[in-house]
């Protein structure tokens, strides 16, 4: 991951003693920009990392690295307000590619009292993105054709599919195949947007707008400027907030909470849901005008049971992921593959991932047998007249936070135990745990909540 440090100085014709020491001693790329927003100095590391000769950089505008012009130059804004900030911007690399960077700006003071802005940029992700949709089944190929056609338009897309079927991957595919591929792909999880958080998260807020607003915050809508805004599980958005989203989508204009002026953002919108939005419109729980705005181009994501031919390929891909994480070289026996092919996967690809992870945990490094594939029993398997059996006790040896987990099925208990093992291994670092499970931190949070994992320090140190 590359890092770029920028220091912006009020006035300078030559490096001060402080700047000279920084330029000489800083191993990371560094450039110094004067108050006229022209680049004055860069260090050797800058030339080496970005492949940009000093002669081509010095004298350029300080925002020349930005791939997309901003509504207001953040550098000029800093010297006007002298306020720190945290923002995301798409910047240019020396190769000509563009990449999203997380930017932290903070004031600095030189030995002669001059004010500087230190700006630290951390590149996010990779400038090259490949499709993560795997499979050669007819349903998969048909889906890919639809997604590629959608990528060639600017029409809003509504992805409909069951939970775990890969709606976010489909949205990413549309983005990376579109002319906006160089722009940001910003995910908004509507399941966590309460009425209190909606405007602040989506549109941002000004410093002092409410208690706890200690700095300006850029909202998701603005971060997606020039790229794609993915509204995941749009059916969960509170109806009281839907008119605000509709207005922003129709006009491209919005106002951060506590701000005076409107801002503009040019975004392409892709939404996803597992709910029947048309039925919700009839019930009055989803606005009809917003539904028509989002569902210009509806696309159905097929469930995994409708693309069974892809299961072996998907399973092998998941095993390869695990091997890259240092979990040996696991393989699947023919009997194990056959067992997977006979299962309906109500949880779709997400459930397949969990089952494979559990199988590897139960049999690390070796061949995964049929017995290692733990599948939940079908709810319809038992006759209706037979009382439901008592929940199985949690497996022995679970951490204290799971000892009373009667609400979990055996496979859920095993997965919860595996999550706890990873939490111990990574000392509670949820980012590393999510990477170990090959899921997002958002999905990990949902699992912790669903499994009622109450993580205590004694659990992680035992």
218: CATH: 3.40.50.300
Q: Where are the alpha helices (DSSP H) in 156-211?
A: 167-177, 198-203
Residues 289 and 330 in one domain: no
What pLDDT does residue 275 have?
93
- Is 115 domain-assigned? yes
What's the number of domains the chain is made of? 4
- Is 453 domain-assigned? yes
Residues 206 and 247 in one domain: yes
Q: Which of 300, 324, 339 is the last residue of a domain?
A: 300
DSSP letter at 28 equals S
The CATH number given to whatever domain includes residue 96 is 3.30.450.20
- Is 160 domain-assigned? yes
Q: Whole-angstrom Cα distance, residue 258 to residue 211?
A: 12
Residues 191 and 250 in one domain: yes
- Is 225 domain-assigned? yes
Q: Which of 123, 155, 173 is the last residue of a domain?
A: 123
What pLDDT does residue 53 have?
78
Secondary structure element (H or E) that encloses residue 331, with its range: strand 331-332
Residues 88 and 223 in one domain: no
- Is 103 domain-assigned? yes
What pLDDT does residue 63 have?
81
Residues 113 and 229 in one domain: no
Residues 333 and 274 in one domain: no
What pLDDT does residue 292 have?
94
Q: What is the pTM of this model?
A: 0.58
- Hunting for tokens 């509709």 — which residue is that? 246
Q: Whole-angstrom Cα distance, residue 257 to residue 48?
A: 42
Q: Where are the alpha helices (DSSP H) in 342-437?
A: 348-362, 410-425, 430-437
Residues 46 and 102 in one domain: yes
- Is 386 domain-assigned? no
What pLDDT does residue 450 have?
72
Q: How many CB atoms lie within 10 A of CB 58?
A: 14
| CA–CA–CA angle 270, 271, 275 (5° rounding) | 160
Residues 119 and 32 in one domain: yes
Residues 86 and 142 in one domain: no
The CATH number given to whatever domain includes residue 454 is 1.10.10
Residues 149 and 202 in one domain: yes
β-pair type (228-232, 268-273): parallel
Q: Whole-angstrom Cα distance, residue 108 to residue 103?
A: 16
Q: Whole-angstrom Cα distance, residue 9 to residue 44?
A: 19
Residues 92 and 229 in one domain: no
- Is 395 domain-assigned? no
- Is 95 domain-assigned? yes
From first to last of its 462 residues, what are the pLDDT tens digits of the chain?
555 555 554 444 566 777 676 666 555 667 777 777 777 777 776 676 666 778 888 888 878 877 766 667 887 887 787 777 677 777 777 777 766 666 766 666 666 777 777 676 666 554 434 567 888 899 999 999 999 899 888 999 999 999 999 999 999 999 988 888 878 889 888 887 777 778 888 898 888 888 777 788 888 898 888 899 999 999 999 888 899 999 999 999 998 888 888 898 889 999 999 999 999 999 999 999 999 999 999 999 999 999 999 999 999 988 887 777 666 778 889 999 999 999 999 999 999 999 998 888 887 667 888 888 998 865 433 333 333 333 333 333 344 454 444 455 545 666 677 788 778 778 888 887 777 666 777 777 777 877 777 555 444 544
Residues 168 and 97 in one domain: no
Q: Which of 123, 156, 172 is the last residue of a domain?
A: 123
The CATH number given to whatever domain includes residue 321 is 1.10.8.60
- Range of 334's domain? 305-372
What pLDDT does residue 3 have?
56
């Amino acid at each position: 991951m590359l890092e770029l440090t920028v220091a912006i100085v009020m006035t300078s014709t030559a490096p001060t003693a402080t700047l000279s020491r920084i330029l000489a001693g800083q191993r990371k790329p560094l450039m110094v920009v004067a108050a006229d927003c022209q680049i004055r100095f860069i260090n050797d590391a800058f030339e080496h990392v970005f492949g940009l000769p000093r002669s081509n950089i010095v004298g350029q505008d300080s925002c020349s690295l930005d791939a997309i012009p901003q509504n207001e130059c953040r550098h000029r804004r800093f010297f006007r307000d002298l306020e720190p900030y945290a923002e995301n911007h798409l910047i240019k690399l020396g190769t000509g590619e563009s990449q999203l960077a997380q930017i932290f700006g903070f004031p600095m003071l030189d030995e002669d009292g001059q004010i500087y802005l230190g700006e630290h940029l951390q590149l996010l992700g990779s400038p090259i993105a490949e499709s993560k949709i795997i499979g050669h089944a007819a349903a998969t190929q048909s889906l890919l054709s639809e997604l590629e056609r959608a990528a060639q338009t600017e029409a809003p897309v509504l992805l409909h599919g069951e939970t775990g079927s890969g709606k976010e991957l489909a949205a990413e595919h549309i983005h990376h195949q579109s002319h906006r591929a160089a722009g940001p792909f910003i995910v908004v999880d509507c399941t966590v947007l309460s009425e209190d958080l909606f405007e602040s998260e989506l549109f941002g807020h000004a410093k002092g707008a409410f208690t706890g607003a200690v700095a300006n915050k850029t909202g998701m809508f603005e971060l997606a400027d020039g790229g794609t805004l993915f509204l995941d599980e749009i059916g969960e958005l509170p109806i009281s907030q839907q008119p605000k989203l509709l207005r922003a989508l129709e006009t491209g204009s919005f106002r951060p909470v506590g701000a005076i002026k409107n801002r503009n953002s040019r975004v392409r919108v892709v939404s996803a849901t597992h709910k029947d939005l048309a039925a919700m419109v009839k019930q009055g729980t989803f606005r009809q005008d917003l539904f028509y705005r989002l569902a210009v181009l509806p696309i159905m994501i097929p469930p995994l049971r409708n693309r069974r031919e892809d299961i072996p390929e998907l399973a092998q891909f998941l095993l390869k992921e695990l091997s890259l994480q240092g979990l040996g070289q696991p393989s699947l026996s023919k009997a194990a593959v056959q067992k997977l092919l006979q299962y309906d996967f109500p949880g779709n690809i997400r459930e397949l991932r969990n089952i494979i992870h559990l199988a590897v945990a139960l049999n690390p490094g070796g061949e995964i047998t049929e017995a290692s594939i733990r599948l939940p029993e079908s709810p319809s398997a038992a006759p209706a007249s037979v009382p439901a059996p008592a929940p199985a006790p949690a497996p022995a040896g679970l951490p204290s936070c799971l000892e009373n987990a009667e609400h979990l099925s055996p496979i859920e208990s095993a997965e919860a135990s595996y999550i706890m093992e990873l939490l111990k291994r990574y000392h509670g670092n949820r980012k590393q745990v999510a990477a170990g499970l090959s899921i997002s931190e958002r999905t990990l949070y949902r699992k912790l909540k669903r499994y009622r994992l109450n993580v205590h320090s004694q659990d992680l140190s035992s």
